[in-house]
Amino acid sequence: MSRRVPASARPVRFPADYGEPGGQGRLLPWSRVEERLRAAPNDWIATVGPGSRPHARPIDGVRVDGALRFGGSPETRWVRNVMANPAASIHVPSAAEAIIIESAAEQVTDPSHPLAAPATAASRQKYPPYFSGDQEPPLRPFWALRPQTAYAWTLEGFPRGATRWSFENAGAPGRGRQTR
């Protein structure tokens, strides 16, 4: 599986009273976003709940081949939400820098899925308390989110540098996306 890179980047459109956003030369590099995503100890996921109510929760996750990989119990509200409607966004917690990834979550339950082994290894390295012993753990079903659209900006000099990325072949959000 190849590393995902944006197909296009452009300034974010904000209302005129936000100030001058700058031009193409002031866009944030995607490499900076990838670096912050890898370094984040956790993320926030926003899902759509019953009655179209928003629902946000912190989650643990790792990055594998351009996908955000995260697990959760089917008893949790956010997992029940993405089972009914896979549209989701991931936000990196930061007081000085905004990073928002939008897409559709895909459940991975098949141990032969291309993300399964690398995601388990990355999770084991980042979150050792979740794993015990030296044996390779069985696959825990997880969710993968490949960016469709991403936004990032820093508060320093805002709105200059605010950037929107679009990704090709991310797939449109659909109901019940699952990979076995």
Q: What are 105-132's pLDDT values in tens digits?
A: 999 989 888 888 888 888 888 887 777 7
In the chain, at which residue ranges do the beta strands (DSSP E only) sit?
A: 8-11, 43-48, 54-59, 61-64, 67-70, 87-91, 97-108, 142-145, 149-154, 163-166, 178-179
CATH architecture observed for domain 8-13+21-169? Roll (2.30)
Q: Is the CB of residue 63 less than 8 Å from the CB of residue 38?
A: yes
> Which of 114-118, 128-132, 133-137, 144-148 comes out lowest in average pLDDT?
133-137
Locate the domains of the chain by residue range. 8-13+21-169
How much is the pLDDT for 101?
Answer: 96
Is the pLDDT assigned to residue 13 strictly greater than 90?
no
- pTM for the predicted model, two decimal places: 0.80
Q: What are 102-112's pLDDT values in tens digits?
A: 999 999 989 88
Q: What percent of the chain has pLDDT over 70?
A: 83
Q: Which two tokens stand for residue 147?
A: 């960016």
Backbone phi and psi for residue 139, each to the nearest 5 degrees, phi listed first: -60, 125
How much is the pLDDT for 153?
Answer: 93
Is the pLDDT assigned to residue 24 strictly greater than 80?
no
> Which of 21-30, 70-79, 149-158 comes out lowest in average pLDDT?
21-30
